[in-house]
Amino acid sequence: MSTLLPISVLVSGSGTNLQAILDAARVGSLPVRVVSVISDQPDAYGLTRAAKAGVPGLVLEATGGMHRQEYDQALGALLGESDPGLVVLAGFMRILGAGLVRDWEGRMLNVHPSLLPAYRGLHTHRRVLEAGESHHGTSVHFVTEELDGGPLIAQAKLDIGPEDTEQTLNARVQALEHRMYPAVIRWFAQDRLRMTDGRVELDGVRLEEPVTRGEEAWLRSSAE
């Protein structure tokens, strides 16, 4: 039997990406074991998803007056107790400080709903529509000290149609994330993906640009 990589997933909200990871792990297409789900929001639905899957859910709220450094220390301690081989940010909406990020460098991934480096930050779907863009998408990257700026691993790209709204873009982007994020985590769990000297290597080859696929290709893709 192959070994399962222990991972911790950090969420702030609905947790549909967490669900995609839990589902892929359950059916055996993703060789990971989710050892903890940590949320900064006590009412995040992601915690309910964790409970339903029998995964420990932990809440670490930022109480009034708590400085980022204190929060990060507490989060670092929680992560230390879970002792994952990979930390997966899945809609975790707090900015993490440099110290914590450095501790987990090369072992922390994030998914961001834009074709990075374009549209870092919040409200990406709205901003993309307002700018009249013809394309949009989502990115998975290693987390570094630069917000939404770490080395890119994979992107899913879609064409924006005249009928698209913030809501339809959100749904289309998330459907792609639910394929792409488990695929990238699988590469890491299979020891095919690593970050060396701030650069991404996949199957021993340094990536000059992220693995980029269109909507159809990601939706068609199964376990690789």
Task: Give the residue with the Cβ less far from ligand GAR, 113 or 182.
Answer: 113
Tokens 């995040």 identify what position? Answer: 44
Task: Give the nearest distance from C-beta 206 to ligand GAR in angstroms.
Answer: 26
Question: Scanning residues 186 to 215, which ones bind ligand GAR (CB under 6 A)?
Answer: none
Which residue in 15, 84, 137, 150 binds ligand GAR (CB under 6 A)? 15
Task: Give the residue with the Cβ less far from ligand GAR, 157 or 201.
Answer: 157
Spatial distance between the Cα atoms of 156 and 71, rounded to a whole number of angstroms: 32
Strand, helix or coil at 192?
Answer: coil
Which residue in 113, 137, 151, 210 binds ligand GAR (CB under 6 A)? 113
Q: Among candidates 167, 133, 138, which has minimal Cα distance to 153?
A: 138
Task: Give the residue with the Cβ less far from ligand GAR, 61 or 81.
Answer: 61
- Catalytic site includes residue 112: yes
Asked if 150 interacts with ligand GAR (CB under 6 A), we say no
Stretch that binds ligand GAR, among 27-35, 153-161, 171-179, 207-215 (CB under 6 A): 171-179
Phi, psi values for residue 171, rounded to 5°: -65, -45
Asked if 90 interacts with ligand GAR (CB under 6 A), we say yes
Strand, helix or coil at 145?
Answer: coil
Which residue in 29, 174, 190, 212 binds ligand GAR (CB under 6 A)? 174
Cβ partners under 8 Å of residue 202, min gap 6: 153, 187, 192, 193, 211
Contact 103, 76 (CB under 8 A): yes
Question: Scanning residues 91 to 110, which ones bind ligand GAR (CB under 6 A)?
Answer: 91
Q: Which of 112, 125, 136, 141 is catalytic?
A: 112
Q: Which residue is nearest to ligand GAR (CB)?
A: 91
Helices 16-26/166-189 angle, 10° precision: 40
Q: Among candidates 218, 221, 195, 4, which has minimal Cα distance to 101?
A: 195
Asked if 111 interacts with ligand GAR (CB under 6 A), we say yes
Asked if 141 interacts with ligand GAR (CB under 6 A), we say no
C-alpha triplet 136, 11, 79: angle, nearest 5°: 125
Spatial distance between the Cα atoms of 205 and 90, rounded to a whole number of angstroms: 26
Which residue in 4, 6, 13, 73 binds ligand GAR (CB under 6 A)? 13
Beta-carbon count within 10 A of 35 CB: 18
The residues that touch ligand GAR, with contacts defined as CB under 6 A, are 11, 13-17, 90-91, 111-113, 138, 173-174, 177
Active centre residues (catalytic): 112
